[in-house]
Amino acid sequence: MSQNIEHVKCLIIGSGPAGYTAAIYAARADLKPVMYMGHEPGGQLTTTTEVENYPGYPTGVQGPKMMEDFKAQAERFKTDIRYGHATKVDFTGPVHKVFIDENTEIHADTVIIATGASAKWLGLPSEQKHRLNGSGVSACAVCDGFFFRGQEVAIVGGGDTAAEEATYLAKLCTKVYMIIRRDELRASKAMQHRAMNTPNIEIVWNSETVEVHGDKMVDGVTVKNVKTGELRKLTVTGFFVAIGHKPNTDIFKGWLDLDETGYIKATPGSSRTNIEGVFASGDAQDKIYRQAVTAAGTGCMAALDAERYLAAKGIH
Ligand code: NDP
C-alpha cells in the first residue's frame, strides 16, 4: 500500500545519459521533471574508466565524472533528482502510475523511460576483479578497444555484437581471439563471413573461459576445449565480453510492446511507445548502438516528444 501519492507532469525513470539529457531538456521546457535514479545512479558509465569518445571532452573524462557533470547540468535547471527504484507501473489510465520502492506512488502525465540495459558477464571472479578495477576487462569494444591498440586481445561471444566488435578490434589490435562455446557462430551470415575472413582474428571453437589472469592488469586468459578438455593459455592484455545485454524493462512487460529480447519498441523516428504519454529512450530501446552519445540523443527526443504531447493535451 503506497503511503505517498504525488502528481507530476514529467517523470523520468533512470539516471544514465538518456535520463539526464531528458531531464535537462524537460527542465528547460518547464516540465518540472522528477527523476528517480534507480539502483545504479549514473548508469553503466559509472562502472567504466576513461571515456574518450563523448564529444565535448577533448582530453577524455572518467565515466563517473562525466555522469556527475550530467547530473550537475540537470540540477542547474532544477530537476528534482531522487533516490529510488521503480518497482511497478500501471499504465491503464490517462495518468500513468509508477510505484517507487515500497512506499511512493507517482501519478505522471508523461513518463520517460531511461532504465538502460545491463551487460551480461560470465561471472568468473577473475573477470569481475578486472572489470571492477578497470584493469583490462570490458563489455564494450567501441568504448575501450582503443586502449589496447597494438596489443593482443580476446573476445567471448558468437553473436552479431561479438562479431562486429571482433572486427572493430582487429583494426586496432595485432591479434583478436574470438572464444566461441560451440562449433558455430550465432551471428548473421554476413557478420560471420566478415569475422572469419579477417586475417588477424582467430576463432577458438568449442571453448569456455576458465580464468582471466593478471595481478594488476590482465596478462592472459585460459580457455578449455569443452570437447577434449584441453586447456590453452592465450596471452592477451584485454578481455572483452560480448555475450549479450539485458534491457532493464521487466516492470513494463504486459504494458509496453517489447521485442523478443525485451527491448522497448519505440515508433521509428520518435520515442513514442504504444502507450500515449510514455516515451522510451536510451539502451532500454536500443540494442544496436548502445553508446552514451546515442542514449543522450534519444533522451533529448523523449523530452521533446513529452513536451509536444503535453502541449497538444493542453496540460500546463
Ligand atoms: P546474442 O544473444 O545474439 O549472442 C550472444 C552470444 O554470446 C552467443 O554467441 C552466445 O552463444 C554467447 N554466449 C551467451 N552466454 C555465454 C556464456 N555464458 N559463455 C560464452 N558464450 C556465451 O547477443 P548480441 O549482443 O550479439 O546480439 C543481441 C541482438 O542484437 C541480436 O538480435 C543481434 O542480431 C542484434 N544486433 C544487431 C547488430 C546489427 O544489426 N548491426 C549489431 C549487434 C547486435 P550461443 O550462440 O552458444 O548461445
Average pLDDT, the chain: 95
* pLDDT (0 to 100) of residue 37: 97
Domains (range + CATH), the chain: 4-118+245-313 (3.50.50.60), 121-241 (3.50.50.60)
Region 4-14: mean pLDDT is: 96
Residue 182 has pLDDT above 90, yes or no: yes
| pLDDT-above-90 percentage for the chain | 89
Region 56-67: mean pLDDT is: 93
Select from 183, 212, 287 the residue to mutate for testing ligand 1; criterion: most ligand atoms less than 8 Å from CB: 287
Grid cell of 1 as nine digits: 500500500
Annotation marks residue 183 as catalytic: no
Region 57-75: mean pLDDT is: 95
* pLDDT (0 to 100) of residue 45: 85
Select from 181, 209, 263 the residue to mutate for testing ligand 1; criterion: most ligand atoms less than 8 Å from CB: 181
Annotation marks residue 144 as catalytic: yes
Name the β-bridge partners of 201.
Answer: 176
pTM over 0.85: no
Atom of ligand 1 minimally distant from the CA of 123: 18
Residue 58 has pLDDT above 90, yes or no: yes
Residue 254 CB neighbours (<10 A): 8
How does residue 52 score in pLDDT terms, banded at 50, 70 and 90? confident
| Residues flanking ligand 1, CB < 6 Å | 122, 156-162, 164, 181-182, 186, 243-245, 287-288
How, if at all, do strands 278-280 and 34-36 pair? unpaired
* pLDDT (0 to 100) of residue 1: 52
Grid cell of 102 as nine digits: 515500497
* pLDDT (0 to 100) of residue 142: 87
Region 292-314: mean pLDDT is: 97
Annotation marks residue 300 as catalytic: no
| Count of all residues that appear for the chain in the document | 316
Question: CA 84, CA 32: separation in Å to the nearest integer?
Answer: 18
Q: What is the pLDDT of residues 139-172, one digit of tens each?
A: 999 889 999 999 999 999 999 989 999 999 999 9
Region 82-99: mean pLDDT is: 96
> Closest residue (by CA) to atom 40 of ligand 1?
288
| pLDDT-above-70 percentage for the chain | 98
Tell me how far apart the terminal alpha carbons of the chain are, to the nearest angstrom: 30
* pLDDT (0 to 100) of residue 235: 98
